[in-house]
Amino acid sequence: MKNTIAIVGRPNVGKSTLFNRLVGQRKAIMDNQSGVTRDRHYGYGDWIGKHFTVIDTGGYVHGSDDVFEESIRRQVKLAIDEADVVLFMVDVEAGMHGLDEEFANVLRRYQGKKPIYIVGNKADTNARAHAAGEFYALGVGDGDIFTISSQSGSGTGDLLDAVVSHFEDPWEEVQDEGLPKIAVVGRPNVGKSSLVNLLLGEERTIVTDIAGTTRDAIKTRYNAFGNEFILIDTAGLRRKTKVKEDIEFYSVLRSIRAMEESDVCIVMLDATRGIEAQDVNIIALADKNRKGIVILVNKWDLIEDKETNTTKKIEEEILEKIAPIAYPPIIFTSVTTKQRVHKAIETAIQVYANKTKKIPTSQLNEVMLRAIEEHQPPSVKGKMVRIKYVTQLPTHNPVFAFFCNLPQYVRDSYVRYLENRLRENFGFEGVPIGVIFRKK
């Protein structure tokens, strides 16, 4: 990435608030509880014609034994390495803190290698702005301390003027249009972040054995082995009755929003637990939003005493529980042993191709009118339904319009028959398709 800004600092100084202001939308989760942001979180912004990427990071805590805080420290350092400009945020209301001094020691190794600005947040009054002078004692940073209020936006214009001066040319933001957006979704602790990290070949997101580690949905552009797409790692979804904290509530919303924005959902299941009610809910939600679906049964290496027909039995169990949804491919994998991981991605890419597939009208009519001739719509109230013509509509998902004399008399069973013939002849594995009837 070019023109990248990393926002760093100790917990609860307002980093996510500034991030949201710079990207122009409420993307990062904000809460008064410290340590809310755990992973690096990316967004895009622009200022005076220059586009940039902003990285929000977790609060840096030195010397803690907490598993999350250790992971956050690694993530912060990765963000600094990626950045072209570093914004070191401090809290002028609270004043100098020991953690500010500890973090300044980390930043000194980058001094002179990339621009570093101390940003004094919560400078809502002149007195607080003047008090920011004490942070010069940290001995890091380029030039003056920028005093801002990330909540109100005061002072952020001057800050951005300085930041974008380091960006040589206006950067045309890499457009994601036309690239598949694949969301990795599922219950907590099924291996979603481990899958993303394996694909990207780096510790892109924090992975622990504690359920619910990922709180923000994280987008990454993936380009390897001839495949290019946007990969979205999401927070684990839980039933609403189990969402007790505000933070977790917003994480669930973030996951749902990421699912809604995606083209294809890789729904991960835990092979050791089988398909549970929440897995069914997730698949149903993806189907309701008309997304392509790939079901990934992870941790397959932990299943002992596997027999020849074990996968078939599990497939049947999954399809029985998610009925009438019958179109998703099911892949058995192990992220730990890398078993069939690339097959999962290749399948997701194929599902996207199926989702965007356009069938020529002539071919569609040749095949489907023959199928209709073989099995005519049943008569209703003594009236016969005559289907004359079929075409695919110019929609984001495959939708087929059948033109007939009496569309109101077509039964659901016949709709399913036509859908089955469409899948049988044209594929569409992993994709929900629509069949509608219009009067000729």
Per-residue pLDDT tens over the stretch 59-114: 655 555 544 456 566 777 777 887 899 999 999 999 999 889 988 988 998 998 99
For residues 193-222, average pLDDT: 62
Are 30 and 159 part of one and the same domain?
A: yes
Identify the residue with better confidence: 226 or 144.
144
63 annotated to a ligand binding site: no
Asked whether the beta carbons of 287 and 255 are under 8 A apart, the reply is no
Identify the residue with better confidence: 53 or 160.
160
For residues 386-399, average pLDDT: 93
299 annotated to a ligand binding site: yes
360 annotated to a ligand binding site: no
289 annotated to a ligand binding site: no
Are 220 and 71 part of one and the same domain?
A: no
Q: Which of 311, 326, 356 is the last residue of a domain?
A: 356
Are 116 and 155 part of one and the same domain?
A: yes
Asked whether the beta carbons of 418 and 387 are under 8 A apart, the reply is no
- Tell me the residue range of the domain where 381 lies: 361-439
286 part of a folded domain: yes
388 part of a folded domain: yes
12: left (phi over 0), alpha (psi -120 to 50) or beta: left
186 annotated to a ligand binding site: yes
Are 117 and 218 part of one and the same domain?
A: no
Q: Which of 165, 189, 220 is the last residue of a domain?
A: 165
122 annotated to a ligand binding site: yes
305 annotated to a ligand binding site: no
Are 308 and 338 part of one and the same domain?
A: yes
Per-residue pLDDT for 397 more than 70? yes
190 annotated to a ligand binding site: yes
Confidence grade of residue 401 (pLDDT, cut at 50, 70, 90): very high
Are 130 and 82 part of one and the same domain?
A: yes
301 annotated to a ligand binding site: yes
280 annotated to a ligand binding site: no
293 part of a folded domain: yes
191 annotated to a ligand binding site: yes
Strand-strand pairing, 50-56 and 41-47: antiparallel
Are 379 and 255 part of one and the same domain?
A: no
60 annotated to a ligand binding site: yes
Residue with tokens 């509608």: 436
For residues 266-292, average pLDDT: 89
> What pLDDT was estimated at residue 246?
42
187 annotated to a ligand binding site: yes
308 part of a folded domain: yes
171 annotated to a ligand binding site: no
Cα 399 to chain center, whole Å? Answer: 26
124 annotated to a ligand binding site: yes
What are the tokens at 125?
């009054």
Helix/strand/coil (H, E, C) string of the chain? CCCEEEEECCCCCCHHHHHHHHHCCCCCCCCCCCCCCCCCEEEEEEECCEEEEEEECCCCCCCCCCHHHHHHHHHHHHHHHHCCEEEEEEECCCCCCHHHHHHHHHHHHHCCCCCEEEEEECCCCHHHHHHHHHHHHHCCCCCCCEECCCCCCCCHHHHHHHHHCCCCCCCCCCCCCCCCEEEEEECCCCCHHHHHHHHHCCCCCCCCCCCCCCCCCEEEEEEECCEEEEEEECCCCCCHHHCCCHHHHHHHHHHHHHHHHCCEEEEEEECCCCCCHHHHHHHHHHHHCCCEEEEEEECHHHCCCCCCCHHHHHHHHHHHHHCCCCCCCEEECECCCCECHHHHHHHHHHHHHHHCCCCCHHHHHHHHHHHHHHCCCCCECCECCCEEEEEECCCCCCEEEEEECCHHHCCHHHHHHHHHHHHHHHCCCCCCCEEEEEEC
Separation CA 287–CA 285 (nearest Å) = 5
300 annotated to a ligand binding site: yes
Domains held by the chain: number: 3
Per-residue pLDDT for 4 more than 90? no
122: left (phi over 0), alpha (psi -120 to 50) or beta: left
174 part of a folded domain: no
10 annotated to a ligand binding site: yes
Residue 413 belongs to a domain with what CATH number? 3.30.300.20
Are 403 and 369 part of one and the same domain?
A: yes
> What pLDDT was estimated at residue 164?
93
Asked whether the beta carbons of 334 and 299 are under 8 A apart, the reply is yes
Asked whether the beta carbons of 385 and 377 are under 8 A apart, the reply is yes
286: closest CA among 299, 311, 268, 313? 268
Are 190 and 155 part of one and the same domain?
A: no
CA dist 97 → 75, 93, 109, 210 (Å): 21, 11, 20, 30
Q: Which of 133, 165, 197 is the last residue of a domain?
A: 165
188 annotated to a ligand binding site: yes
9 annotated to a ligand binding site: yes
Strand-strand pairing, 330-332 and 434-439: unpaired
36 annotated to a ligand binding site: no
> What pLDDT was estimated at residue 83?
86
126 part of a folded domain: yes
381 annotated to a ligand binding site: no
What are the tokens at 300?
């397959």
12 annotated to a ligand binding site: yes
Are 208 and 349 part of one and the same domain?
A: yes
354: closest CA among 317, 328, 380? 328
- Is pTM beyond 0.75? Reply is no
| Peptide linkage before 180 cis (omega within 30 of 0) | no
Per-residue pLDDT tens over the stretch 237-272: 455 555 444 444 444 455 666 777 789 999 999 999
43 annotated to a ligand binding site: no
Instruction: Identify the bridge partners of residue 334 per DSSP, sorted by sequence position.
Output: 339
28 part of a folded domain: yes
192 annotated to a ligand binding site: yes
16 part of a folded domain: yes
Are 50 and 124 part of one and the same domain?
A: yes
What are the tokens at 6?
């990393």
Residue 252 belongs to a domain with what CATH number? 3.40.50.300
161 annotated to a ligand binding site: no
Are 231 and 82 part of one and the same domain?
A: no
Asked whether the beta carbons of 212 and 235 are under 8 A apart, the reply is yes
Identify the residue with better confidence: 104 or 193.
104
